[in-house]
Amino acid sequence: MINKFYKIINNKFSRFFKFIFFLRYLLAVFFVAIVLFLNIPKSFDYKKKEENIKNYLLKNYGLQIRELEDIQFNSFPVPSLRLSNLSIDFHSDDTNLTTQKLIIFPKLFSIYNYENFKVRKVKLENSNLNYIKLKNSDISESTFVGSSMNGVDLENSKVSEVNFENVDFSNAKLNKISGVNVSFEDSLMTRMNMMEAKLQSSNFSGVDISQSKLNDSILKNSDFSRVVMVGSDLTDVDLSNSDLSKGIFNESNFKNANLSNSEIIDSEAKKTSFSGSKMNDTNFSNSNLEDSIFSNSNLTRSVFRNAVISRTSFKGADLTLSSFEDAEGSMIDFSLAQMSKANFKNTNLKKSKYFKTNSSRSNFENSEISESSVSSSKFDGSKFINSNLSKIKIDSSKFLNCDFTNANLSNSILRNSDFSGAILEGAILDNSNLTGSKINIEDLKKARLCNTTLPNGKIDNSNCKQDKAKSS
């Protein structure tokens, strides 16, 4: 009965119902069209969105954007942006962007790429800037005190007058950065790359730059006092006129570096290479330089007073007018060195090597030179007053007009050398061999001779009886 009634109703009203359903779909399509018509223009209104972004930055961060190019975004008011060639003015008296705001700041820019970033006089203390990219940027006159910039990329950026005190720069890329009066005081800069940097008159005091690369950088007129620089590469670096006092430079490489007129006093540079470096007028006083290499370096007028120089190599170095007074060391290599007019007064040079060394008119007064080896060298006009040269081996060398007053030359080999005009008054030549050497006999008589082999091969015992009489 019901089915029969439904069929009758359906037949009579089928066209009406179909019309109603059609009208419903039509209205739906019309509504969608209106929505699209109203919103699509807004979706493509990039200028409006740019203005919204600028207003958002100004309202929330006090930043006014002068230039904004290459914008990419996905949502607003908290967009994910990629910005390039960005210039910002800070509209506040102290240009202070607080830590709290900075925490939000990276959230605003989900892609941490700020190449060509230009912002001056910004203050970002105790902030997190790890692994942020700021290549080719200008952040001059800004402050980042106490911030973490681990892995930051500042390559080719300008950093004049920037305060990076107590900043973590571990694993950072600072290649080709440039600026003056930059402060990195007490910062951590281990495993960092800072090659080809130009940072004159800057402050690196108390910085740990261990295992880092500073090749080809210009860092002259800077403060590197109390710096820790273990295992770092400073090849061809310019550190002239800098203060490196109280620093630790063990196992670092200063090959071909410029350290002229610098202070490296009270420092430690063991197993460090300074080969080929320019270090004229440099002061190494009170420093530990054990096992280090200064070969082929320019060390004219340099100072090593009270320095520890054991097993150090000065092979081929220029030590003219340098001072080693009161220095302590042994097994030092002075081969091929130019060290005329040098001062070695009160210096321990035991077991050292002199091969083709030129040390004319130098002062070795009161020095310890025992067990050393001298060959094909020149010491004309030098002073060895009160010095210990016992067990020394001298061959084919020149000691013209040298002063050996009260010097100890006992148990030594002094063969084939020229001692013409030498002062030997009070000199001890016991058990020494002068075979083939040139020496004035009258001068030789002023020395103590006991079992001494004279230049002609004869044995002289003229002072042996005198010694026995004194002992009895």
User: pLDDT tens across 392-438, in order?
Assistant: 999 999 999 999 999 999 999 999 999 999 999 999 999 999 999 99
Greatest mean pLDDT among 3-12, 221-230, 450-459: 221-230
Reported as type and span, the H/E element at residue 100 is: helix 99-108
SS3 content of the chain, % helix, strand, coil (to 5): 15, 20, 60
Q: What's residue 104's pLDDT? A: 29
Q: Answer whether 105's CB lies under 8 Å from 83's CB.
A: no
SS3 assignment, position 43: helix
Query: What's the pLDDT at 138?
Result: 86
Average pLDDT over residues 99-115: 36
pLDDT for the residue 101: 27
Both tokens of residue 241? 């006129």
CB 397 within 8 A of CB 380: no
pLDDT of residue 344: 97
Q: Choose the most confident range, by mean pLDDT, from 69-73, 317-321, 455-459.
A: 317-321
Contacts of 238 (CB under 8 A, 6+ apart): 217, 218, 219, 220, 257, 258
The span from the CA of 327 to the CA of 429, in Å, is 26
Instruction: Please tell me the predicted confidence (pLDDT) of residue 353.
Output: 97
Query: What's the CA gap between 283 and 322, in Å, rounded?
Result: 10
Q: Tell me the average pLDDT across 257-276.
A: 97
Q: Is 50 exceeded by the pLDDT of residue 71? A: no
Mean pLDDT (whole number) for 338-366? 97
Ordered structural domains, the chain, with CATH: 364-472 (2.160.20.80)
- The answer to whether the beta carbons of residues 132 and 153 sit under 8 Å apart is yes
| Rounded mean pLDDT, 427-456 | 93
On whether the CB atoms of residues 412 and 393 are closer than 8 A, the answer is yes
23 has pLDDT over 90: no
Say whether pLDDT at 191 is over 80. yes
Please state, in angstroms and rounded to a whole number, the distance separating the CA atoms of residues 323 and 156.
41
Q: What is the predicted pLDDT for the residue at 20?
A: 62
CA distance 278 to 415: 37
pLDDT of 76 strictly over 50: no
The mean pLDDT value of the chain amounts to: 83
Q: How far apart are CA 12 and CA 107, in angstroms?
A: 65
Residue 59 banded pLDDT, cuts 50, 70, 90: low
What pLDDT was estimated at residue 53? Answer: 59
Neighbours of 398 (CB within 10 A): 18
Question: Which residue did the predictor score with more confidence, 98 or 383?
Answer: 383
Lowest mean pLDDT among 39-43, 278-282, 347-351, 412-416: 39-43
pTM of this prediction?
0.77
Closest CA to 175 of 153, 155, 202, 204: 155
Q: Give tens-digit pLDDT for 112-124.
A: 455 666 666 777 7
Tell me the pLDDT tens digit for each residue of 312-339: 999 999 999 999 999 999 999 999 999 9
On the question of pLDDT at 189 being above 70, the answer is: yes
CA-to-CA dists, residue 55 to 64, 114, 466, 469, angstroms: 8, 20, 105, 107
Average pLDDT on 203-219 reads 97
**pLDDT computed for residue 12 by the predictor:** 53
Assign residue 325 a region (left: φ > 0; alpha: ψ between -120 and 50; beta: otherwise). Answer: beta
452-453 and 459-460 beta bridge pairing: antiparallel
Burial class (CB in 10 A: 0-12, 13-18, 19+), 280: buried
In order of 209, 364, 425, the CA distances from 407 in angstroms are 47, 10, 9
Tokens coding 459: 């044995």
What is the percent of the chain where pLDDT is above 90?
65
Q: What is the pLDDT, as a whole number, of residue 16?
A: 57
**Mean pLDDT, range 10-36, rounded to an integer:** 59
